[in-house]
């Protein structure tokens, strides 16, 4: 039986740079990083995404930027290791204009259903709204401008849904797009501002695993977005975190499976029935070897990704944590 297709959902205001992030992220992940790469399953989509990124890099003026759209965009991708597919997933770039209180009931219901089926959720916050420190005076305005209050409503609903289904909370990436717009010397102060926008995610004993990641298409763009040089930074890290989280869950599941197979094999090999169970024992030994190989391969991949994330800002149960290589 084929593994189910994973889903990643990206939320953010229409001006948060989600679409350009996808173009740059795809270009970054198409280039092999320590054996990992990403490819669109549709060849035409692959060519289109590269052409859009090339236009963004090479063009100047307003034409380099995508026109605002009310359409949700869904991409079909494959994560690969050594150019061999390991995970198929859908990426939903939800239309930013729908991130408002005017969204109709059907629109909201479809989004929440998709989010609840996701394996990772990206929340995009534009650095344009975090140029100044968040205080009690401007907090309400920042919550409105970033759409963080609306995203928080979706998170509250998601939490209820996952609890009702007895499912664990899945990883969240708070992607600070247009980081070039932020000229603040204290990273720790900015982190505290982000935590104010989504405070339930960072509550003590929270079950959410959350990564906060600054991304930019180029530091010159804050001063000259139409002619500034494209020098992307950190576009791949949120995807690496999503892939790490998915593969780590797969690794834990395979570890559990191989131990169960080992117990079944031990029961077959013990006692006087082992001669009659010779065929079953051989098949179970082959199953155990296959599971062991899959576990070791996935564990190796997880460790490679963990090294990429060693400097990342990640929180669990309200505390910043390092990524465990094991």
Residues 211 and 275 in one domain: no
Whether residue 292 sits in one domain with residue 154? no
What percentage of the chain's residues is helix, strand, coil (to nearest 5)?
50, 20, 30
197 and 299 in one domain?
Answer: no
**Gap between the Cα atoms of 277 and 269, Å rounded:** 8
Tokens standing for residue 61: 């003026």
Mean pLDDT of 171-175: 95
If 0-12 CB within 10 Å is exposed, 13-18 middle and 19+ buried, where does residue 294 land? middle
Angle, in degrees to the nearest 10, between helices 148-164 and 139-146: 70
Cα separation, 206 vs 203, whole angstroms: 5
Distance CA 22, CA 49 (A): 9
Segment 183-195 shows an average pLDDT of: 92
β-strands 172-177, 84-93 pairing: unpaired
**Which of 199, 227, 246 is the C-terminal boundary of a domain?**
246
User: What pLDDT is attached to residue 269?
Assistant: 80
In this structure, the answer to whether residues 172 and 284 fall within a common structural domain is no
Contact 28, 236 (CB under 8 A): yes
202 and 232 share one domain: yes
Specify burial of residue 132 (Cβ count, 10 A radius: 0-12, 13-18, 19+): exposed
> Can you read off the two tokens belonging to residue 261?
């197979």
Q: Do the Cβ atoms of 170 and 121 come closer than 8 Å?
A: yes
Structure tokens at 122: 């990206």
> Which pLDDT tens digit goes with each residue over 229-259?
999 999 999 999 999 999 999 999 999 999 9
- Which among 191, 219, 246 is the end of a domain? 246
> In terms of domains, do 149 and 257 share one?
no
Pairing of strands 319-321, 313-316: antiparallel
Phi then psi dihedrals of residue 124, to 5 deg: -95, 125
Confidence band, pLDDT 50/70/90 cuts, at residue 289 = very high
Average pLDDT over the chain, rounded to an integer: 89
User: What is the domain-level CATH number for residue 203?
Assistant: 3.40.50.300
Percent of the chain exceeding pLDDT 90 equals 61
Helix axis angle, 237-269 to 278-308, nearest 10°: 160
**SS3 per residue for 238-250:** HHHHHHHHHHHHH
Q: What's the 3-state SS for 47-83?
A: HHHHHHHHHHHHCCCHHHCCCCCCCCEEEEEEEEECC
pLDDT at residue 281 in the model: 82
* Rounded CA separation 282/180 (Å): 60
Q: Binning pLDDT at 50, 70 and 90, where does residue 167 land? A: confident
What number is the average pLDDT over the span 147-169?
89
- 214, 65: one domain: yes
Q: What is the mean pLDDT of residues 289-317?
A: 92
- What pLDDT sits at residue 1? 41
Contact of 25 with 137, CB cutoff 8 Å: no
Residue 92 pairs in a beta bridge with 9, 74
Same-domain check for residues 218 and 104: yes
**What pLDDT score was predicted for residue 97?**
63
DSSP one-letter string for 140-197: HHHHHHHTHHHHHHHHHHHHHHHHHTT-PPPPEEEEEE-GGG---S-HHHHHHHHHHH
Residue 112 contacts residue 94 (beta carbons within 8 Å): no
Question: Domain residues for 103?
Answer: 6-246
Task: Enter the tokens of residue 18.
Answer: 């989600």
Residue range 305-323, pLDDT digits in tens: 999 998 899 999 889 998 8
Give tens-digit pLDDT for 79-131. Answer: 999 889 999 999 998 876 666 655 566 777 888 888 899 999 999 999 999 99
CA quadruple 316, 136, 152, 14: dihedral positive or negative?
A: negative
Distance, in Å, from the CA atom of 28 to the CA atom of 220, rounded to the nearest integer, reads 19
67 and 181 fall within a common domain:
yes
Q: What are phi and psi of 169, to 5 degrees?
A: -70, 140
Q: What was the pLDDT predicted at 103?
A: 57
**CA of residue 144 relative to chain centroid, distance:** 24
Percent of the chain with pLDDT over 70: 93
320 lies in some domain: no
Q: How many domains does the chain have?
A: 2
């Amino acid at each position: 039986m084929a593994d189910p297709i994973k889903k990643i959902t990206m939320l953010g205001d229409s001006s948060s740079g989600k679409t350009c992030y996808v173009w740059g992220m795809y270009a970054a992940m198409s280039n092999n990083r320590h054996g990992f790469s990403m490819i669109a399953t549709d060849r035409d989509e692959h060519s289109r995404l590269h052409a859009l990124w090339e236009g963004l890099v090479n063009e100047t003026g307003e034409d380099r930027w995508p026109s605002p759209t009310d359409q949700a965009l869904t991409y079909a991708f494959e994560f690969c290791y050594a150019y061999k597919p390991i995970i198929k997933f859908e990426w939903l770039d939800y239309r930013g204009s729908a991130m408002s209180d005017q969204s109709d009931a059907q629109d909201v219901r479809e989004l929440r259903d998709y989010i609840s089926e996701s394996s990772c959720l990206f929340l995009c916050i534009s650095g344009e709204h975090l140029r100044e420190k968040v205080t009690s005076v401007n907090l309400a305005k920042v919550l409105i401008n970033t759409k963080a209050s609306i995203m928080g409503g979706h998170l509250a609903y998601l939490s209820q849904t996952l609890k009702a289904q007895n499912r664990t909370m899945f990883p969240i990436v708070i992607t600070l797009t247009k980081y070039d717009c932020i000229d603040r010397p204290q990273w720790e102060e900015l982190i505290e501002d982000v935590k104010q926008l989504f405070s339930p995610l960072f509550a003590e004993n929270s079950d959410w695993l959350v990564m906060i990641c600054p991304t930019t298409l180029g530091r010159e763009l804050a001063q000259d977005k139409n002619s500034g040089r494209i020098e992307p930074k950190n576009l791949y890290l949120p995807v690496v975190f999503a892939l790490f989280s998915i593969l780590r869950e797969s690794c834990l599941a395979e570890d559990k499976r191989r131990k169960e197979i080992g117990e079944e094999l031990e029961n077959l090999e013990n006692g006087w029935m082992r001669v009659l169970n010779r065929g079953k024992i051989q098949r179970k030994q082959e199953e155990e070897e296959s599971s062991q190989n899959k576990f070791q391969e996935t564990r190796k991949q997880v460790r490679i990704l963990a090294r990429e994330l060693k400097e990342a800002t990640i929180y669990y149960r309200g505390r910043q944590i390092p990524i465990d290589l094991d």
